[in-house]
Amino acid sequence: MPCCDPLNPPPVSRQAGLAIERRLCEVEGQRIAAEMHLLPSENGSAPPPIVFLHGVLTSTCLVTELFPVPSQVSWISLSLPGHFGGSFAPGLTASSIDADFYVRLIEGALQQLLGDQQVILVGWSLGGFSVLAVTAAHPERVAAVACLAGFAEPRFAGVVRIMSWMVRLPGAATLVRCGLWLAEQMPRVFWFFALLTTSNWKAFETADAKEVLHGVWLRFRCSDAASLSLVLATLPKLDVGDAVGGITCPVLIGSGSDDPVVPVREARRIASRLPQAELRIYEGAGHMFFCEWEGFQDHLAGWLQQHFEGFRR
């Protein structure tokens, strides 16, 4: 594994020139990393900052793919538990990891970074589950929430479902860890895993998409395969349950119509329980919001402007 400093991670192109503060939060012995780009408030009228939670096996650097101009938006990107930047406490076992574990760590990090300030939560994939769980548990914290290709119950499929099943079997778990190690060493292996989550291969194979994925890989290769295996093994335990129906703030639900990881029916199921939710389905698209979801950045900006006067595109 390369020597990667979480406070000085490998650079990625879309963060070039951005003023980013990096911090590490210790919560219950676990470490969560934060990348922060916060603009000065004008007369106290600025909308709440956006807090982004990335997906499994990916990275905080994907936050810049939410915006056409990342420098014009206040945002914080938090690492998922067990992912690079952060780390698990020594001796942590699968029995300790459930939905409440994610909620406690994310809320604990937000308390350290922002106190009681409200935020707009945006999460993708496993991050999408995480933002729903935090919103359901701490409604006072969340002014609005966007769940992108996320889930409220563990209804994922494809390569993620296969890996989460294999890693719980003693013999197969070794194969998964070997696969993760190979993906850390060789970007083509990482690219192959990512390819299995897509539907629109042409969008996935563009120069821009490859540049984004290379930046994600540079940080993924700093990850600990054992920690990532623990994350995969506990995915089937993650369930918001009936609590998702109690969310009352504005909600955006996004999904690719042909997502092979979190089927579109899960997005429809979540939206059906939230009458205030805006459901956006991207036809012919898979799981990768940043390259397959045509018009996504404009759609997110429009939704934010609708609910937060003064939000800057």
Over residues 62-78, mean pLDDT: 96
Q: Which two tokens stand for residue 228?
A: 């990532």
> What's residue 2's pLDDT?
60
Over residues 62-71, mean pLDDT: 96
> What's residue 117's pLDDT?
96
Report the CATH number at residue 301. Answer: 3.40.50.1820
Is the per-residue pLDDT at 1 higher than 60?
no
pLDDT digits (tens, 9 = 90+) for 237-287: 999 989 999 999 999 999 999 999 999 999 999 999 999 999 999 999 999
> What's residue 47's pLDDT?
87
pLDDT higher at 201 or 141: 141
Domain-located, residue 287: yes
Angle at 239 between CA 62 and CA 155, to 5 degrees: 75
What's the domain count of the chain? 1
> What's residue 41's pLDDT?
76
**Spacing of C-alpha 29 from chain mean position:** 21
Is the per-residue pLDDT at 38 higher than 70?
yes
Is the per-residue pLDDT at 313 higher than 60?
no
Domain hosting 302: range is: 18-156+239-307
| SS3 per-residue string spanning the chain | CCCCECCECCCCHHHCCCCCEEEEEEECCEEEEEEEECCCCCCCCCCCCEEEECCCCCCHHHHHHHCCCHHHCCEEEECCCCCCCCECCCCCCHHHCCHHHHHHHHHHHHHHHHCCCCEEEEEECHHHHHHHHHHHHCCCCEEEEEEECCCCCCCCCHHHHHHHHHCCCHHHHHHHHHHHHHHHHCHHHHHHHHHCCCCCHHHHCCHHHHHHHHHHHHHHCCCCHHHHHHHHHCHHHCCCHHHHHHCCCCEEEEEECCCCCCCHHHHHHHHHCCCCEEEEEECCCCCCHHHHCCCHHHHHHHHHHHHCCCCCC
State the residue for tokens 């729903």.
132
Q: What percent of the chain has pLDDT over 90?
A: 88
pLDDT digits (tens, 9 = 90+) for 95-133: 999 999 999 999 999 999 999 999 999 999 999 999 999
Domain-located, residue 108: yes
Is the per-residue pLDDT at 45 higher than 80?
no
Domain-located, residue 197: no
Average pLDDT, the chain: 94
Domain-located, residue 135: yes
Is the per-residue pLDDT at 216 higher than 80?
yes
Over residues 141-152, mean pLDDT: 98
Domain-located, residue 313: no
Is the per-residue pLDDT at 59 higher than 70?
yes
- Cβ(10)–Cβ(222) below 8 Å: yes
Evaluated on CA atoms 67, 312, 135, 106, the torsion sign reads positive
Q: Is 293 left (phi over 0), alpha (psi -120 to 50) or beta?
A: beta
- CA nearest to 267, candidates 257, 253, 251, 277: 253
Domain-located, residue 2: no
Domain-located, residue 203: no
> What's residue 312's pLDDT?
62
76 class by beta-carbon count within 10 Å (0-12 exposed, 13-18 middle, 19+ buried): buried
Domain-located, residue 208: no
**Spacing of C-alpha 135 from chain mean position:** 15
> What's residue 28's pLDDT?
96
Q: Which two tokens stand for residue 164?
A: 């989460």
> What's residue 13's pLDDT?
86
Over residues 301-305, mean pLDDT: 95
